[in-house]
Structure 1
Amino acid sequence: MTYQENVEKWLHSTDLPDYLRQELEAMDKKTKEDAFYTNLEFGTAGMRGYIGAGTNRINIYVVRQATEGLAKLVESKGEEAKKRGVAIAYDSRHFSPEFAFESAQVLAAHGIKSYVFESLRPTPELSFTVRHYGAIAGIMVTASHNPKEFNGYKVYGEDGGQMPPADADALTGYIRAIEDPFAVQLADLGESKASGLITILGEETDALYLEELKDININPELIKEFGRDMKIVYTPLHGTGEMLARRALAQAGFESVQIVESQAVADPNFSTVASPNPESQAAFALAEELGRQVDADVLLATDPDADRVGVEVRQADGSYWNLSGNQIGALIAKYILEAHKQAGTLPKNAALAKSIVSTELVTKIAESYGATMFNVLTGFKFIAEKIQEFEETGNYIYMFGFEESFGYLIKPFVRDKDAIQAVLLVAEIAAYYRSRGLTLADGIDEIFKEYGYFAEKTISVILSGMDGAAEIKKIMDKFRDNAPSQFNSTAIALTEDFQELTATDGQGHVEKLTTPPSNVLKYTLADDSWFAVRPSGTEPKIKFYIATVGETLSEAEEKIANIEAEINAFVGQ
């Protein structure tokens, strides 16, 4: 079906709400083409897109279609699966409550039970809820850290992790087989609540999750002595972190926590920030302002669905340093392993997991403690799969997992990134360095001095629409077929193609990769620098990851600048 035919189908639907009809009628030709030329696709973590009319937008019809596909997947697993039901949560974005409850109504029309939160809740709590209630699946309505124009729909498996590839592929097949999203049936909301097909969750589930958080902190005595009066500023950036982070910090014994109250209000427009992304220092502007007022040691920010956390630390001159996702990961890994070693509780078969585009600094830290690092594809579901494997085989004990994109998981009662857990542990780590008369910045410097000066940079290039998708493919093909033999005057020692599942060394010897296939290319240079290229799984972006190591931080950063310039030149040829 052409995009013009799709547009006509929507315009002739008698059920189309006025707000979508008016938006559609006001679109120019180029906007219509982008909104209807394809269907919004499932990627590494579900689907995400601009809110609005169209098959390539997120709206009630796209959500109904996705949920109808999920209902058919659940039905394929039998009556017991339908009784186990689906847990549903949502963040503070436009249409999030509508998308969540409409999903529940679609499921109810199939006789599938659902557990829906009464109001916004974090992604990690949704993961916990799937596991606690024994649900067969979960839905999280969120666009994570994207701007206000976006929303999204993430699907979880019964382990509480993002749906693994086999089920995700089956779900995609069911969704694509639905030819008319306007024909998807919805059960009556009131009747479904009365019959028990839709159960509303609230404080009782919050209390269960908060109880699990009591085991996150490793050294309560350290917190009592050095963390109780340590000044912390926290901002939920208008999102779901407000529901739990403040309570979790108080529960752990951090008594001097200041909240950026103007950003504790759930606001779908994220009116105090250009983008609610804790990876960006710009999102910390109000937290820094409050931090200077109260002389805060550390600033913490979570994104709207509270699965990512950003950290800033006060430096000697009073300014705040915005830590990278890799630096936060290094601090957490080092502290977990060192604290357990000192307590005599570090297992011999300790294991950590990270994405293939995250820093090798944490690998070196893990190895120094006799722990094993597992590298997995981007997408936290692959870390969740490793945790499940460890539990089933007993070969390893999970200690920590992370992605460079500011996602961390300490305890596996959740099977996705958990910023609430990370907030608690980063606060404890800050207290640990404070007990030594140091800051988190000093901690990073200690790690660099011990393991080497590692630097990383992620470059995201937005390429929207049909032309953008073609350009992304062109760039990937160019690297795959004609990549240079060296960067920064350093030979490429290993080329890993995760789509072809090949690892080719500098002499042309090829070995088989064991990960699932994914459209990622990674080049390791002879000096242990590396860079990777991959299209985003949920956004119209192509990403370049560059990582280097040097004798000094400035040397490592100079290498990054050189490699970035050569990548730009190669892409632009």
Structure 2
Amino acid sequence: MEAGWARMNDLIIIQASQGLCAYVVKNVKDARSRGVVVGHDHRHHSEKWAKLTAAAFIDQGVPAYFHDGQDNGYKVYWENAVQIIEPHDKGISASIREQREPRSLNIESLASSPLLRKYDEMAYFEYISSLCLYKSLNAQTALKFVNTSMHGVSDPAMFKAFELFGLPQYIPVVAQQKPDPEFPTVKFPNPEEKGALDLAIATANEAGADYILAQDPDSDRFAAAEKGPDGKWIQFTGDQLGTLFASACLEKYKASGKPLSKLAMVASTVSSKMIEAIAHAEGFKFAECLTGERAALLAPYCLREQPLAAGFKYIGNTALTLEHEGYEVPFGYEEAIGFMFGSLLRDKDGVAASLMFAEFVVTLQKAGKTASTHLKELYERYGYFQTSNSYFICTDPPTIDTIFARLRNYDGHAAPGGTPHYPPTLGGLAVTRVRDLTVGYDSGNAPSYRPELPLSSGHMIQFRAEDAAGGSKITLTTRTSGTEPKIKYYLEGSGKDANAVGELLRKVVQELSDVWMEADKHGLGKP
């Protein structure tokens, strides 16, 4: 919390809430009788800001259903229960600018307002229960799970969810079990970060556990690790978990007897293309969608048009669109360990993902397999996929513009009329498709050459390359960050041989740095 337009503070919360309220009242039928849900988590000032948000709505006669223990940062969901996209994001931004004069709000008297109502959590646990398929099998398992909530809010929900699934209770990482906004045991409270699972691993080794489950502090993301036969822990990447979940959803759908042509799954454009390969092999639909930035600050939305929610909004809305087209969409994910299940909740949920993973490995054990051995089988069946994601640090926006301008006019060969010309090869493979979501160009979508995905507000270009035989393939997405001074890249190689794919990725990373980004010339930093 700091003063200023580019910081989180009471004024920014009040302005954003006033603008959002005005927009909701204007655009949602019966908003003053239906009300809004407001939640928060345990981080510093979170409860106060949630109360200010509720007070801003109550001040205008809109009931607020107050729910302790949700997410922080000001995510906005529309009445379809999915994070907002156009036109609501721009409409809300405009409304915030019109509501900058802060009204006086008294949160001390909030508790006595008849418009403040307690949120009923039963609907959420009904959703969790609906995901359970093998309750009796779960109850018989000998598998041991360790769980860490990473000093966050997930432990009470996880405890109840394990009961609903019939699973033997997990062993908690006691030092990280209760909410603590200081996150004292980790350098950064993200289960993806190196060392973040050290305490969980120590707890699991002591308890003789088989799997580690982890949720991030606001409980919307999920990570997992498996104890290998050599005693070492295998931590799965977001893409590996996405592949495992997709295979589970596919087998469940096959067992239902429904036509595979009506099944669809969704992933962000920077996620692995392995589900795409599975979809082509099995005959169901795969849809990719634009990735979203995690918006940590509200201030920019008071000053200029930018999305008010991010991350999973495109995945959830793409799933809804596919449903309207007649598809069943049981799963969607992003590589940053965000996973969505079923049709009742179109957002990432760490608790749901934890339970789906736990039940899945129970069924695998009954078949004599583990998550890692099953993943190996999937690689053998559909091809080996390996990712290498990282970033370059650049604090000078004009330099970033120069780098991307060169990629669009590679070696000065842009065609007359403004048609871009991109690098023709990558890692010795021929570039077969370029999709530039900044200028609106897709070489694979003739004759319009317009991309089907929405355009990005920053630089974002995706390249696909492969060898002449189609055996080795590369997908590279490079984009700027809206919240950090970074040029991010998401790189994936695929082929039949894991060692060959690994060597190809190393070659591409070096070429990306030396040739495409000209890292030394531009003084780009590396993590």
Note if contact 1:115-1:199 (Cα within 8 Å) is conserved in structure 2.
yes
In the alignment, which residue of structure 1 is the partner of 2:463? Answer: 523
Note if contact 1:494-1:504 (Cα within 8 Å) is conserved in structure 2.
yes
In the alignment, which residue of structure 2 is the partner of 1:439? Answer: 370
Displacement after TM superposition at 1:417 (Å)? 0.5
1:411 corresponds to which of 342, 347, 352? 342
Note if contact 1:109-1:186 (Cα within 8 Å) is conserved in structure 2.
no
In the alignment, which residue of structure 1 is the partner of 2:49? Answer: 99
Note if contact 1:501-1:515 (Cα within 8 Å) is conserved in structure 2.
no
In the alignment, which residue of structure 2 is the partner of 1:11? Answer: none
Displacement after TM superposition at 1:541 (Å)? 3.6
Poorly superposed stretches of 4+, deviation over 6 Å: none
Q: How far apart, CA to CA, are the structure 2 residues paired with 1:346 and 1:211?
A: 27
In the alignment, which residue of structure 1 is the partner of 2:124? Answer: 209
In the alignment, which residue of structure 2 is the partner of 1:189? Answer: 107
Secondary structure, counterpart of 2:121 in structure 1: helix
Displacement after TM superposition at 1:200 (Å)? 3.0
Moved more, 427-436 or 345-354: 345-354
Secondary structure, counterpart of 2:224 in structure 1: strand
**1:389 aligned onto 2:310:** no
Q: How far apart, CA to CA, are the structure 2 residues paired with 1:540 and 1:65?
A: 27
Instruction: Give the TM-score, by structure 2 length.
Output: 0.86
**1:502 aligned onto 2:433:** no
Q: Deviations over 1:339-358 (max 9, x none)?
A: 33235467541111111111
Alpha-carbon spacing, 1:460–1:304, altered in 2? closer, same or farther (3 Å):
farther
Displacement after TM superposition at 1:337 (Å)? 1.0
Q: Which amino acid aligns with 1:403?
A: E
2:248 corresponds to which of 300, 319, 335? 335
In the alignment, which residue of structure 2 is the partner of 1:326? Answer: 239
In the alignment, which residue of structure 1 is the partner of 2:299? Answer: none
Q: Deviations over 1:283-316 (max 9, x none)?
A: 1101100111112111111111111101111111
Displacement after TM superposition at 1:552 (Å)? 1.9
Instruction: Give the TM-score, by structure 1 length.
Output: 0.79
In the alignment, which residue of structure 2 is the partner of 1:165? Answer: 86
**1:402 aligned onto 2:333:** yes
Note if contact 1:102-1:186 (Cα within 8 Å) is conserved in structure 2.
no
Q: How far apart, CA to CA, are the structure 2 residues paired with 1:342 and 1:79?
A: 41
Alpha-carbon spacing, 1:502–1:266, altered in 2? closer, same or farther (3 Å):
same
Alpha-carbon spacing, 1:398–1:331, altered in 2? closer, same or farther (3 Å):
same
Alpha-carbon spacing, 1:347–1:196, altered in 2? closer, same or farther (3 Å):
farther
Q: Deviations over 1:532-572 (max 9, x none)?
A: 11223454443210011122222212222111111112322
Note if contact 2:478-2:489 (Cα within 8 Å) is conserved in structure 1.
yes
**1:62 aligned onto 2:12:** yes
Q: How far apart, CA to CA, are the structure 1 residues paired with 2:81 and 2:230?
A: 44
**1:85 aligned onto 2:35:** yes
Displacement after TM superposition at 1:63 (Å)? 1.6
Q: How far apart, CA to CA, are the structure 2 residues paired with 1:539 and 1:230?
A: 41
Displacement after TM superposition at 1:490 (Å)? 1.4
2:450 corresponds to which of 489, 509, 512? 512
Secondary structure, counterpart of 1:398 in structure 2: strand
1:120 corresponds to which of 55, 69, 73? 69
Secondary structure, counterpart of 2:162 in structure 1: helix
Displacement after TM superposition at 1:386 (Å)? 2.4
Q: How far apart, CA to CA, are the structure 2 residues paired with 1:474 and 1:154?
A: 33
1:348-363 equivalences in 2 (<5 Å): 348-363=261-276
Secondary structure, counterpart of 1:283 in structure 2: coil
In the alignment, which residue of structure 1 is the partner of 2:312? Answer: 380
Secondary structure, counterpart of 2:502 in structure 1: helix
Displacement after TM superposition at 1:449 (Å)? 0.8
In the alignment, which residue of structure 2 is the partner of 1:491? Answer: 430
Q: How far apart, CA to CA, are the structure 1 residues paired with 2:401 and 2:121?
A: 44
Q: How far apart, CA to CA, are the structure 2 residues paired with 1:347 and 1:280?
A: 37
Q: How far apart, CA to CA, are the structure 2 residues paired with 1:250 and 1:462?
A: 45
Q: Which amino acid aligns with 2:506?
A: A
In the alignment, which residue of structure 2 is the partner of 1:20? Answer: none
Alpha-carbon spacing, 1:350–1:238, altered in 2? closer, same or farther (3 Å):
same
Alpha-carbon spacing, 1:553–1:502, altered in 2? closer, same or farther (3 Å):
same
Q: How far apart, CA to CA, are the structure 2 residues paired with 1:196 and 1:481?
A: 62
Q: How far apart, CA to CA, are the structure 1 residues paired with 2:198 and 2:333?
A: 26
* Aligned Cα root-mean-square deviation (Å): 2.2
Note if contact 2:136-2:166 (Cα within 8 Å) is conserved in structure 1.
no
Displacement after TM superposition at 1:54 (Å)? 1.6
In the alignment, which residue of structure 2 is the partner of 1:543? Answer: 488
Note if contact 2:153-2:178 (Cα within 8 Å) is conserved in structure 1.
no
Alpha-carbon spacing, 1:446–1:70, altered in 2? closer, same or farther (3 Å):
same
Note if contact 2:480-2:488 (Cα within 8 Å) is conserved in structure 1.
yes
Displacement after TM superposition at 1:64 (Å)? 1.6
Note if contact 2:131-2:342 (Cα within 8 Å) is conserved in structure 1.
yes
Q: Deviations over 1:67-89 (max 9, x none)?
A: 12212212322672233222111
Alpha-carbon spacing, 1:509–1:396, altered in 2? closer, same or farther (3 Å):
closer
Alpha-carbon spacing, 1:253–1:462, altered in 2? closer, same or farther (3 Å):
farther
In the alignment, which residue of structure 2 is the partner of 1:248? Answer: 161
Displacement after TM superposition at 1:521 (Å)? 0.8
Note if contact 2:260-2:283 (Cα within 8 Å) is conserved in structure 1.
no
**1:301 aligned onto 2:233:** no
Q: Which amino acid aligns with 2:117?
A: T
Q: How far apart, CA to CA, are the structure 1 residues paired with 2:95 and 2:66?
A: 23
Q: Deviations over 1:501-559 (max 9, x none)?
A: 321259x9762212221142100112431101122345444321001112222221222
Q: How far apart, CA to CA, are the structure 1 residues paired with 2:264 and 2:454?
A: 20
Q: How far apart, CA to CA, are the structure 2 residues paired with 1:291 and 1:107?
A: 46
Displacement after TM superposition at 1:221 (Å)? 4.1
**1:315 aligned onto 2:260:** no
Alpha-carbon spacing, 1:431–1:324, altered in 2? closer, same or farther (3 Å):
same
